[in-house]
Structure formats: structure tokens, C-alpha cells
A and B are shown apart, each in its own frame.
Chain A
Amino acid sequence: MSTRVYVSRDASATSLGADEVATALIAAAGAGTIELVRTGTRGLLWLEPLVEVETASGRVGYGPVAPADVPGLLAAGLLTGGAHALNVGRVEDLPWFKSQERLTFARVGIVDPLSLADYRREGGYAGLERALAMKPVDIVQAVTESGLRGRGGAAFPTGIKWKTVLEAQASQKYVTCNADEGDSGTFADRMLMEGDPFTLIEGMTIAGLAVNATQGYIYCRVEYPEAIATLNAAIKAAYAGGYLGRDVKGSGRRFELSVRVGAGAYICGEETSMLESLEGKRGEVRVRPPLPALKGLFGMPTIVNNVISLATVPVILAKGPGHYQNFGMGRSRGTLPFQLAGNIKRGGLIERAFGVTLKEILYDYGGGSRSGRPIRAVQIGGPLGAYVPASQFDTPLDYEAFAGIGAMVGHGGIVAFDDTVDMAKMARYAFEFCAIESCGKCTPCRIGSSRGVGLIDNLLAGKEPVHQLKMIEDLCETMIQGSLCGLGGMAPFPVKSALKHFGEDFVPRTGH
């Protein structure tokens, strides 16, 4: 009898050699001895490539494994969970994993992402079954009661958006999934799409039933080819299984779904730019109103939701909105998959209820910086998020608490920097990134971002520094107040927070 062995196929795991480890395992153990299952990643990226072996007492992990470790591991009894320096015990028992509250990511890292049978066995499509027996208005009500807010970062109540689309009268409505996860420090969307794509497909199908939309699109960034391939294969399997198409599971209800691929434009993560791009145009921001919920894709009522928002809908339907609503604090209900990245010892994905503090994430999970030096600054919520100093690490991760300190939780990306970081350089980069990625439609963003780079250069070159600082403050206000969308409107936040908390870095220097 062969032993079941799990190795991740997630892009992060393969970037560290998981494919080579899998090949070495097959070669050394012999194909008949092991049954190799390629899963998503558990999110313990510091342990990848992680090899898990099914034993009588559960799935025992070994990591991080290099191909050269494989013969020694087999000799030490890998296939029966034998002792070895790389043996981390049962993965579920690792405090890093055990303390998490995995609702959206319940199956990621555990199942074969393309096996419908695995998905069903682990509770998949229970939400859709419920939804098929419900009236659209009741599905919307359940999502509203769950307290789910937009996980792309804007945190707008999902149920309210859906209600607007449901009540709109139109011959065609759409469900679109924003999978243009361009924020540095974020990879939750990618990890979910690669590790449990059926959850997203199920969530979108439920959204379609909820608002009477028959067509869905997943807009995925081109930088994620592994996710695109997995999604396309999963959609094909869902069609074959009767979960998509003209007659979803014999209900008489129709839902069609396909993937559209972006082309390297950060701005297409902004919902109206994404819709323009889906229509085959330049990804330029639209003026709102009208809201996409009323006039969205091809001018029709459209749901635009992030991957994590949609992928959370199945568990809300399956376990009831009350179950989901029980997690969290204040107005931030449920869980958020935090992504711990940058200069950190134990990085990865940590799904926890809102309310966990930044300090717990950075030190209890992260173990401090990878370099071993003190963590000086943390950027949360992507390139448009504020830099947070160590004095604020006790802040609970909650939308309102972070807004209260002039920062944001956003999509939950947390990027740590040690004390070698030059915050003036990071502020300059915030403007530079905005200049590179600006769609060019509005002047504060298009011109202001380039002006910002010049002002910081002048400041650091010692040209009238007091005047430059005044100009930077003024420019930030203009961009915040005058930009059409969040790119120009929020790019000043990292700049302002760097000036406020790390002002000592903004001094004229020689040799700049």
C-alpha cells in the first residue's frame, strides 16, 4: 500500500523548490511507494517546501526541505512520520497554525485544489446548496447579517452592495471578481485561487443567484500565471460537474464564469478601472456616480468584489451568518487573512478574527525580522497604506482602530522593515510608484506624483528644505482632496506617515 505524501504546488512553495522536492521524492521512494498529492500551501511559507505525510496520527510535516534532504528523510522513516531534524510534528498542532481561525482558508493547503471530490468532502458546495433553496433577497440578507465588508481594502458592507444590484432592473447583470491583487505585501487572493479555487467559484455562483446575474468574470492579474491556470482548470471541472452553466445543479438557474487576464496595470485594482479593462479598454478610472452596482460592466448593474469577499460567502451560507458574525471586534466582523511579509523571520498567511494586535502578528507569529535587527516600521494595506512605527504596534487590527491612528488595514498585507530602512527613500518611492502606475486621467495624481518625487529630491539635496517640506504638505493635501480615485488620493498617506513618525530621516544628505 502506498503512503500519501503532500507537497504544495503554490507559487511561493515552488519558488523555493517544492517541484524539485516532489521530483526527488518520487525518484528516491519509487512511484509505487508514495501517492503524491500536490496541494495549495498551508500559508506557513517559512516552512516551505513543506512535505506532509499521512500517518495514523495525522499529517506529519517536514520542512523546510531541500531536494538533497530527501534520501536522509526517507532513511529516517519519513513515510511513517519518523524522527528527523526537519520533523515539525503534526502541522495542525503547530502553534503558528493551531491558533488561527481558518474560515475562508479552511481547505487551503489541505485539499488537492482541482479535486471536486476533495472539495465536497471538506464541506464545499454546502453553501450553494443552501442558496439554491433560498430567495435572492434572503441570500443578500444573510450576507448583510454576517457583517462581511469588502476585503479588497475599502471595507464597504458587501450585503449593501449586493442589495443595490439585486434591486436594479436590467436585462443583464454581472458578477465580477477583482483578482488584480497588486498591493505589495499581499498574496491572499493568489493563495486562495491556487489552493482552493472552487471556493471562489462557489462564492461567485451564490452572488449570481443573489442578484439574478447570469455571467461572472474573474479579472486576474497577469503576474499570477499559476493562479490563472488553476482557475481555468477548476472552472472546467465545475462545468463538467454541473456546478456552472445553463442549469446549475438542476435548479434551472444559469451562471456562466470565465477568467479575464490583466496586463500589468496596478490601477486596474481600482474597481472602475477594472471594469474599463474588462471591456477591453485602457484602465482609466471612471467618475462616480453612477456606481458600478447600477451602471457597471457594459453599463449594466454589476457586483465588483474582491476574491476574499466572494470566497467567504460559501462559509457564511453553509454555517449561517451568525457563526461568521461571532468573530471579530466592533464593526469589523469575521476574520481577515493577514499576510505577513517583507523583512520577517516567519512570514506567511495568518487568518485571524479582527482584533489581534499588530504586535502579536509581528512577534508571536513572525518571530521578529529576518535580519535579526529591530523592526522599525511596518507598512499595512499596500503601497497606499501608512507606515506605522513601533510605538503603535499594540493597535488591534480592526478597520476603525487603524483609521483612528491615520492608517488602514486594507487587504491585510503587513510588510515589516528593519532599522536599516531609509524612510525618506520609502516616501520618495510612494510618489514614484504612483507616477509609474497613474492612469493619467486626473491632474493631481498624474502631475502631483512626479512633483512629489522632485520635491523629496530637492529636500534631500538640501535645496531650501523648509520650503520643500511646506510644498510636500501642500501637495499631499491637493492629491488627497483632488484625485479621482484612491491611487492619487492615498499615495500621500505613506508619505505623510513617514514624515510624521520618521521625520529624522528627512534631512539633507551628501552624496544623494
Chain B
Amino acid sequence: MANDDAGHQAVIDAALGRLKGEPGPLLLVLHAVQDAIGYIPPAAVPQIAAGLNLSRAEVHGVVTFYHYFKSHPPGRRTVEVCRAEACQAVGAEALAEHARKSLGIDFHGVTSDGALSLEAVYCLGNCACGPSIRLGGKLHGRVTNERFDALTRRPERVK
């Protein structure tokens, strides 16, 4: 994962070079940048704007409109807890409360060791098997408090 300014610039240039010919390319570029860097660094906004012949306001407006795009570095893994109705019907609110307490952070927060981000999500499409979470990209169903702790405390796999 690129983690210095020069590295970021190279990633963004590559994404722009590859995608700017596509129709309506801004979301494609933002996805490519976030996939590579983990978030959209504020310094990337003017670079993307210049590359796509948009205003900085237009790029900033899109980044901030969508819940998925982040402007700050996330934890090494993200845990998303579903808070929508079907999961609420089987105890998602209690699980959300447990997640906050267990990790010691609120939603949108990052644990102090930088290991985990906690995010709310409104439906993972696993509505017959809730409560559901997605942890480091993997979906888990019928998650109890104990299972949440076991999953989030499991050592991270190094990529």
C-alpha cells in the first residue's frame, strides 16, 4: 500500500491515465485511488480535478456525498456492522452496542492501535442470516457478541 505523498501521486496518475477516457470516469478514479491507498487523501482532490478537467469543488462534492469514500486513513481492517431493519429484528442494535464497547470506539472511529475501523452499514444483503457484519472484506452471518469478539481479535493476516 502506497503511504507517502510521492507514492500517492503515482497511484493517482496511474488511475487517471487508465480511466480518464471512460465516460463519466470520476467514481471509477475514486474507487481506484481508495482501493490502492485505503482512502482519498485530501491532496488527491486537486490532482484528480486537474486530470479530469473538473473543479476541485466537484471532486470534493462527490467524495463527501458517498458514504463509502473516506478522507482519512482507515484502520488496517474495517468492520462494518449492519444496522438495517432485517438485522435489527434479530438483535443488531445490541450487537452494535457491544461492538462499540468491545472495541472502545464509536462508529466511524479507529482503534488506538490502528488495527480496526468501525463503520455502520445499511444492509449487506444477508437479511435472512442476520445479524451480519463484514470484516476485512469477508461477510459473516448470525453474529453473536462472542463471535464478534473472536473474529475481531483474531490476528490479522499479513497481505
State the A residues within 8 Å of B (CB). 11-12, 14-16, 45-46, 48, 181-187, 189-190, 222-226, 260-266, 277-284, 298, 339-344, 347-348, 370-371, 379, 383, 413, 415-418, 421, 426, 429, 433, 436-437, 439
In the bound complex, residues from chain B placing their C-beta under 8 Å from that of A222 are 31, 68
A417 and B132 in contact (CB under 8 A), knowing A277-B27, A279-B24, A298-B24? no
What residue of chain B has the Cβ atom nearest to residue A16's Cβ?
B141
Interface string of B100-129 (1 = CB under 8 A from A): 000000000000000000000111111111
The CA-CA distance from A416 to B28 in the complex, in Å, is: 37
What residue of chain B has the Cβ atom nearest to residue A278's Cβ?
Answer: B24
Given A261-B27, A341-B86, A187 and B67 contact (CB-CB distance below 8 Å):
no
Residues of chain B within 8 A (CB-CB) of A266 are 122
Contact status B87-A12, CB under 8 Å? no
Partner pick for A263 among B67, B87, B89, CB 8 A cutoff: B67
- Bitwise, B20-42 to A at CB < 8 A (1) or not (0) is 00011111101100000000000
Residue among A185, A262, A277, A370 with max Cβ neighbours from chain B (10 Å): A185
Whether the Cβ atoms of B132 and A416 lie closer than 8 Å is no
The listed residue with most A CB atoms (<10 A of its CB), out of B61, B128, B132, is B128
Taking a contact as CB atoms under 8 Å apart, the answer to whether A46 and B128 are in contact is yes
Task: Report whether A264 and B68 are in contact in the complex, using a CB–CB cutoff of 8 Å.
Answer: yes
Given contacts A182-B123, A260-B27, A261-B31, are A421 and B89 in contact (CB under 8 A)? yes
- The answer to whether A15 touches B141, judged by C-beta atoms less than 8 angstroms apart, is yes
Contact A263 B69 (CB under 8 A): yes
**Residue of B67, B69, B88, B129 with most partner-chain A CB within 10 A:** B129
* Contacting pair B122 A436 (CB below 8 A): yes
Check A183/B25 contact, CB under 8 A, given A16-B142, A340-B128, A429-B85: no
Q: In whole angstroms, what is the CA distance A342 to B27 when docked?
A: 33
Chain A residues closer than 8 Å to B125, beta-carbon distance:
11-12, 181, 186-187, 189-190, 223-224
Whether A342 contacts B86 by the Cβ 8 Å rule is yes
Residues in B whose Cβ lies below 8 Å from that of A45 = 128-129
B56 at the interface (CB under 8 A from A): no
Chain A hits for B124, CB < 8 A: 11, 223
- Chain B residue nearest in CB terms to A45: B128
Ranked 3 nearest A-B pairs via Cβ: A347-B128, A184-B84, A264-B68
Q: Tell me if B49 counts as interface (CB < 8 A to partner A).
A: no
B31, B84, B125, B141 interface centre (most CB from chain A within 10 Å) = B125
State which of B69, B88, B129 has its C-beta within 8 Å of the C-beta of A429: B88
Nearest chain A CB to B123 CB, angstrom units: 5
* B contact residues around A284 at 8 Å (CB): 65
Say yes or no: A185-B27 contact (C-beta < 8 A), given A12-B128, A224-B125, A263-B69.
Answer: no
Query: Which residue on chain B has the smallest CB distance to residue A182?
Result: B123
Q: Contacts A183-B123, A264-B66: A298 and B23 contacting too (C-beta < 8 A)? A: yes
Q: Contacts of A413 on B, CB cut-off 8 Å?
A: 86, 127
Give chain A residues whose Cβ lies under 8 Å from the Cβ of B31: 222, 261, 263
Query: A431 to nearest B CB, angstroms?
Result: 13
A184 touches B27 (CB 8 A): no
Is B62 in contact with chain A by the CB < 8 A criterion? yes
Q: Is B137 an interface residue (CB 8 A)?
A: yes
The answer to whether B122 touches A263, judged by C-beta atoms less than 8 angstroms apart, is no
A454 and B138 CA atoms in complex are apart in Å by 36
C-alpha gap A184/B84 in the complex (Å): 6
Residues on A with C-beta less than 8 A from B77 are none
Contact of B126 among A15, A182, A282, A283 (CB under 8 A): A15
Q: Which residues of B contact A341 (CB under 8 A)?
A: 86, 89, 127-128, 130
Within 8 A of A (CB), among B5-64: 23-28, 30-31, 58, 61-62
Our pick among B28, B66, B141 for the contact of A260 (Cβ within 8 Å) is B28
Taking A11-B125, A189-B125, A223-B123 as known contacts, 16 extra A-B pairs with beta carbons closer than 8 A to each other, sorted by chain A number, are A11-B126, A12-B141, A181-B123, A182-B122, A184-B85, A184-B86, A187-B127, A263-B69, A264-B68, A265-B67, A280-B26, A282-B61, A342-B86, A348-B128, A429-B88, A433-B84
Is there a chain A Cβ closer than 8 Å to B98's Cβ?
Answer: no
CA A286 to CA B131, docked complex, whole Å: 35
Given known A45-B129, A225-B137, A347-B129, contact A282–B85 (CB-CB < 8 A): no
Q: Which residues of B contact A182 (CB under 8 A)?
A: 122-123
CA distance A187 to B87 in the complex (A): 13
Verify if B139 is at the interface (C-beta below 8 Å from A).
yes
Complex: A283 Cα to B27 Cα, angstroms? 11
* Distance in angstroms between the alpha carbons of A232 and B64 in the assembled complex: 27
Known: A184-B84, A342-B89. A223 touches B128 (CB 8 A): no
User: A265's closest neighbor in chain B, by CB?
Assistant: B66
CB nearest neighbor in A for B61: A282
**Is B62 within 8 A of A342, CB to CB?**
no
Bound-complex Cα distance A333 to B110 (A): 50
Q: Is the CB of A187 within 8 A of B128?
A: yes
- A selection of 17 A-B contacts at a CB cut-off of 8 Å is A12-B128, A12-B129, A15-B126, A15-B129, A184-B122, A184-B127, A186-B125, A225-B137, A265-B67, A280-B26, A280-B27, A281-B58, A283-B66, A339-B127, A340-B128, A379-B85, A416-B89
A298–B88 Cα distance when bound, in Å, is 39
Q: Which residue of B lies closest to A433 (CB)?
A: B122
B19 vs chain A, min Cβ distance (A): 10
User: Are A415 and B85 neighbours in the complex by a CB distance under 8 Å?
Assistant: yes
